[in-house]
Amino acid sequence: MKISELSPEYRQPPLHAALLTDLNRVVADVEALDASDSSSPEKLAADLRRLLTKLASAASSSSGPDAAFRLKVWNLGYRLWNACVDRANHGFPTRVAEAEIRQAAPELLLLAGLPEDIPNARAKAASFFHRTGLVWFDLDRPDLASACFEKATPLVSAADSEGERAVLLDLNLARARVAFSAGEQALAVALLSRSKPLAAASSEGVKALAEEYLRIGKAALATKPPDSALDAANLLTEALDLCEKAAASPSCATPTTPGSTPATPNLQVIKDQCLRFLAAERLQANDYEGTLRCISVWRASLGLGEEHPSIGFMALRACLGSGNLAEAERELETLMANAEAPDCVCVSAAELYVANTGPDAAFKVLIALATRCRAGAAAAAVRVLKKVVESAGAGTGRARAIAELASDERVVKLFDGPTNTHERSTMHALLWTCGTEHFHAKNYEIGADLIERSMLYVSRDEESRSRRASCFRVLCLCHMALRHLDRAQEFIIEAEKVEPNIRCVFLKFKILLQKEEEDEAIKVMKTMLGYVDFNPEFLTLSVHEAMACKSVRVAIAALTFLLGLYSARKPMPMTEAAVLRSLITLLLREPGSEAEILKYSRRAKLRMAELGAEAIFGKGTVGLRERNWFAVSTWNMALKMAKEEMYDYCTEFFDLAAEFFSSVSGEDDANGILVCKSLIMGVSAMFHVEEVNKTPLSDSDLKRGVEMLSKAGKLLPLTLPWAPVTSDPLEDNNLLFLHTSNFYRLLSRMDTSAHPQQLQLVKNFAASKACTPGHLLKLGEIASEGTQPNLQVAEFLLKASITTALASHSPSYGIISAALRRLVCLAGIQDLSGSMSDAVYDVFQQAYQIVVGLRDGEYPFEEGKWLATTAWNKANLASRLRQGSVARKWMKMAIDLSRHFENMKQYVSEMEEYFERFQKSTGKEPDECSQQDGAPSTSLSGTRFCW
């Protein structure tokens, strides 16, 4: 049996037939692909990737496909390529999937090998890869494009035929373009250099290579890459050399194929571009002579009639750069005469020219632009004038020239008509900006001139009211700075006519301040409150302006107006406490303003009670600083009032100081001492008021004083430990004494029921470390005086004073002697009848014990003399009362005391002689006033010693 006679199921299919069938089906699907089917390209691309993988595996196997199979694959690859080209020609969008399908075609050719039956197979496969790479490059995938070019290059690297050399040239140029885009500039230049031998064979090759040199040169000129190998001038020169060599070659003078045009005109276009970009490169390098040489060559080859506008523009820049203004002017005239030059280029050239020549040449340029740019003369004028302003600098001469140019009737006329509204606005803004810059630079005359000229470009319609008013206000400010106050007033009146608002009123206020018309300034400031756009900030500014003009009165008025707004709960520029502080600070400069200062200090206290300390003074460190300022201010005012003996104010200022210090510190820090001082000194001031006015304190005052001292008593422990004792009543160590003495005096105004409380008060003080003998003596004097003296308290204090003084290291005998004298007087009050009470004698006994042993002069002489004299006089009184024993007792006391005082010794002998006579005369007679007791009487009467 023959093999052909076998049944079909036993026949062997051709090798790889299934793969070929699948491939044929996919190619047919691509050929039949509809544009509306958006998902099919991705699926077909995936199928092709799968089949290419299988085909590559089959090609690499030992039993690879035969020549017939390879030829079929080659044909399928060609069919696939043609299908892709047809889709591209019919406008199918180029997507990634389309590019993948296209790339499958050269991949099939590569896998199929290079059949000998197909002419130029290598060149065709390489060409497919080249064009696919270009597609990938257009899709911004330079990596895939480069991979295609690299696969294609080995296929034609031998360059055995003209076709292969042409494809290799295209590949080199494409690779150079991709390398440049990837930042590999050195590789790009190397590939172009490698392509020179390949391009030399044909004019089209020269043209393509020159175009690529030109393209990369232009890119290098625009981007300025850091690679030194990629110099724009060298690349453009290479392109230019290629064009010149090709033009000199005989093959370029004749058509290459029937129906084609000679290559020379196309090369001339490239040469023209090379010269233009070389001129631009030289211009960037500031090689103005090189720029002009390139332009000269360009013009020599084409003539002025066909000149590109950029040539004239670059020539103008080169002439200006080299300082040849006359030639620059001719180039500008030539450019404006060129009908092909766009208006924008002419305007840019005019800007450049004017920027270098200044405003003197601007007018002629503006007229030329107005003639050429009939439709956009105003816009062109704005651009040129803007350049004039920008290049003029801050010089006053050029600024004046700008003002003259802008106000020329012919220039202003360019902006007439409703179509030039935007240009007029721009022109006004230009002059306004220039004027305000001079204003801020304190060139007020120039600034005012430019602002006034800018109003030529402001219409008088309703929409321009605000702009015109702004101009008038700035003019007002300029003339105020120049001290042209009347002129400034005229401008602000005009501004108010155009647009009355708070800013106009404020400027009127400033002018009146500078004219020193304070009453009118206050009236105008008051009218601010009625304006719709009023903001309290203007009153704050008014204060600053008034202070700058040294007008304290106006500043006080402004602060008063501002203060009146706080009750309205409006948003304010500063805290109410800051306004009160500023107001009080200003009032301190004005004599006789104590009542006003007190008024606003009271307000600060009341507002603090109403709203809370943080609401009125602020939070954090700022609030504490404000409260501390009010505390110190009221404290200083209280001291000032005390010094000036204005005790009515003094009391209340001390009270306010206590309140403010309390808000700063509470009761647990050092400021508590100041609270305590303020309360105690406030009560002291109340007593001074009583003394000065000769009117007793009212019950309410007494109650208030007790409350103040009760509060101070709680704070007194903060004053411990005390500093050394001083005589300053405001020192911390004296606070307890002042508190005690003031409290005692308040209690003395009550009935005798307060006597036990007074005794306990002084006992507490005597037990404190702050107590001194002087304090006790002073309190004793207070207790022993008045309409209701507390003799018990007085006796306690005086005895305590003596005891405390004697216990010190350096006893003060002045205090001791004063206390002894007080005790003598106090004991005398207790024994007015001269009874047998020994209270007075006991004091003299104590005095005698003290003076015994003292050096001469230690005990005050006058006090010693008083003791001796008083004792002798008491003896005389007893003698008259026929109390002999009492008289003898006092005589002996007087003699004993006199012996211990040097200045009294001259009287001792006479006193002793008298005493002996008295003794003899009285004998043992009973005293007349004490016969019932058996006391001796005296017969002496009318005898008295006095010094």
How high is the pLDDT of residue 251? 53
Tokens of 843: 């004091």
Angle between helices 671-693 and 620-643 (to 10 degrees): 30
Q: Please work out, in degrees rounded to the nearest 5, the angle formed at the alpha carbon of residue 496 by the alpha carbons of 491 and 501.
A: 130
All residues at 6 or more sequence positions from 533 whose CB lies less than 8 Å from its CB, including other chains: 501, 502
All residues at 6 or more sequence positions from 316 whose CB lies less than 8 Å from its CB, including other chains: 328, 331, 332, 335, 349, 352, 353
Q: Which residue reads 């009355």 in tokens?
A: 500
**What are the backbone angles phi and psi of residue 878, rounded to the nearest 5°?**
-65, -35
Count of beta carbons in the 10 Å neighbourhood of residue 777: 24
Residue from 394, 460, 396, 476 nearest 428 by CA: 460
Three-state DSSP at 482 gives coil
How high is the pLDDT of residue 911? 93
pLDDT along the chain (947 residues), means of 10: 44 62 88 69 87 82 71 88 86 80 88 79 88 90 90 83 84 87 83 81 81 83 69 80 74 44 61 82 83 81 66 83 83 78 80 76 74 72 76 68 81 82 87 89 91 90 88 93 92 91 94 94 93 91 92 93 83 88 93 93 92 86 90 94 91 93 69 88 92 87 90 80 44 78 88 81 88 92 84 91 91 92 84 61 93 89 92 91 90 93 88 92 55 31 37
Gap between the Cα atoms of 726 and 737, Å rounded: 12
Q: Please work out, in degrees rounded to the nearest 5, the angle formed at the alpha carbon of residue 324 by the alpha carbons of 318 and 327.
A: 85
Three-state DSSP at 940 gives coil
Tokens of 146: 């480069």
CA terminus-to-terminus distance, the chain: 186
Alpha carbon of residue 283 to chain centroid: 45
How high is the pLDDT of residue 7? 46
239 half-sphere exposure, CB direction, 13 A CA radius: 31
Gap between the Cα atoms of 542 and 506, Å rounded: 8
Gap between the Cα atoms of 894 and 883, Å rounded: 16
Angle between helices 905-922 and 861-880 (to 10 degrees): 10
Gap between the Cα atoms of 650 and 684, Å rounded: 10
How high is the pLDDT of residue 899? 92
Angle between helices 377-392 and 343-357 (to 10 degrees): 30
Gap between the Cα atoms of 244 and 161, Å rounded: 27
Gap between the Cα atoms of 105 and 31, Å rounded: 13
What secondary structure does DSSP assign to 149-199, as a single string? HHHHHHHHTT--SHHHHHHHHHHHHHHHHHHHHTT-HHHHHHHHHHTHHHH
All residues at 6 or more sequence positions from 890 whose CB lies less than 8 Å from its CB, including other chains: 841, 871, 872, 874, 875, 878
How high is the pLDDT of residue 377? 75
Three-state DSSP at 231 gives coil
Gap between the Cα atoms of 227 and 220, Å rounded: 10
